[in-house]
Structures are given as structure tokens and as C-alpha cells.
């Protein structure tokens, strides 16, 4: 290097580059070691958690088989609950349709009730009018009966007068015009 064949960078620059290269390689190796240490710690932590969970399961359920049975039972119960929920949903839809039909029938019955009430009122009005007409006819008949009685009495009076005048033949004469 000192003979002058190498042209370009000075010795100080080359030294500085070499130092920086070693620092970077050192830093990179340090970071790689740190990564592997963290990875190992995470694996140990996960392994510890799994072991603790397994211990808790064993303590609570006795064995993993019992836990699996419970999980299967819970899964089956969940499926049954979903079937029941679907059934309730279908029944809800059916009830909604039945309620709609009942509301329609109720509305029709209300309309029929109103129509029948109108007919009842019309019939009551007709009956009232017929009663009034009958009362008027009864009054007319009664008046005619009274007139007939009066005429009967007048006829009887006239008949008596005619008989009396017939008994005395000289007393009556033909009226002059």
C-alpha cells in the first residue's frame, strides 16, 4: 500500500471503512443472537403456558379425555341450541303469519259488525216507521169506528122518527120543494 500502486482511497479511509465494517458485523451478530434468545424465551414461555394449562386441566377435570368429552358435549349442546333457535325462528315466522291472518279476520269481522249494525239501525227505523203507521191506522180505524157508532145512533134515531111518523099517517107530508 505504501508503494503507490493503489490509487484512490487513503490508508486512513480504508482503516475507517474496515472499522465500520467490523462494527456493523458485530452489531448484526449481536442482533441475531438477541433474536434467537428472544425466540427461545418465547418458545419456553409458550411451553410453560401449555404445561400450566395442562396441569390446570388435569387438576380440574382429571384427564384430557374428560376435557375432550366435555368439549364434545358442549359442541353437541351448541348444535342442539342452534337447531332449537332455528326452530323458534320458524315458529316465530309462523306465529307472525297467524297473527297477520287473525288481524285480517278481525278487520273483516269489524267491517261485518259495522254493516250488520247499519242494517239493525235501518230495520229499527223501518219498525219505528211501521209502528207509527200502524198507530195512525189504528187511530183512523178508531175514528171510523166512532163515526160508525155515531152513524148507527143517528140511524136508530132516524128509524124511530120514521116509525113514529108511520104510526100517525096524517102527520107526515111530502116536503115541498
pLDDT tens for the chain, 177 residues long, are 455 555 678 888 889 999 999 888 989 998 998 888 888 777 776 777 777 777 776 777 667 777 778 788 889 999 999 999 999 999 999 999 999 999 999 999 999 999 999 999 999 999 999 999 999 999 999 999 999 999 999 999 888 888 877 776 555 556 555
> What is the C-alpha to C-alpha distance for residues 8 and 18, in angstroms, rounded to an integer?
16
What's the pTM? Answer: 0.38
Domain boundaries, the chain: 7-62
Amino acid at each position: 500500500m505504501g508503494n503507490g500502486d493503489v490509487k484512490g482511497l487513503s490508508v486512513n479511509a480504508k482503516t475507517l471503512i474496515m472499522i465500520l465494517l467490523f462494527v456493523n458485523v458485530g452489531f448484526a451478530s449481536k442482533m441475531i443472537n438477541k433474536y434467537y434468545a428472544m425466540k427461545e424465551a418465547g418458545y419456553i414461555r409458550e411451553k410453560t403456558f401449555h404445561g400450566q394449562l395442562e396441569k390446570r386441566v388435569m387438576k380440574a377435570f382429571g384427564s384430557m379425555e374428560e376435557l375432550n368429552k366435555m368439549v364434545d358435549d358442549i359442541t353437541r349442546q351448541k348444535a342442539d341450541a342452534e337447531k332449537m333457535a332455528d326452530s323458534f325462528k320458524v315458529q316465530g315466522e309462523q306465529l307472525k303469519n297467524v297473527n297477520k291472518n287473525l288481524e285480517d279476520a278481525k278487520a273483516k269481522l269489524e267491517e261485518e259488525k259495522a254493516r250488520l249494525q247499519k242494517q239493525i239501525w235501518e230495520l229499527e227505523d223501518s219498525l219505528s216507521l211501521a209502528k207509527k203507521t200502524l198507530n195512525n191506522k189504528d187511530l183512523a180505524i178508531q175514528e171510523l169506528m166512532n163515526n160508525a157508532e155515531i152513524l148507527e145512533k143517528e140511524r136508530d134515531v132516524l128509524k124511530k122518527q120514521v116509525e113514529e111518523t108511520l104510526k100517525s099517517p096524517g102527520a107526515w107530508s111530502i116536503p115541498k120543494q
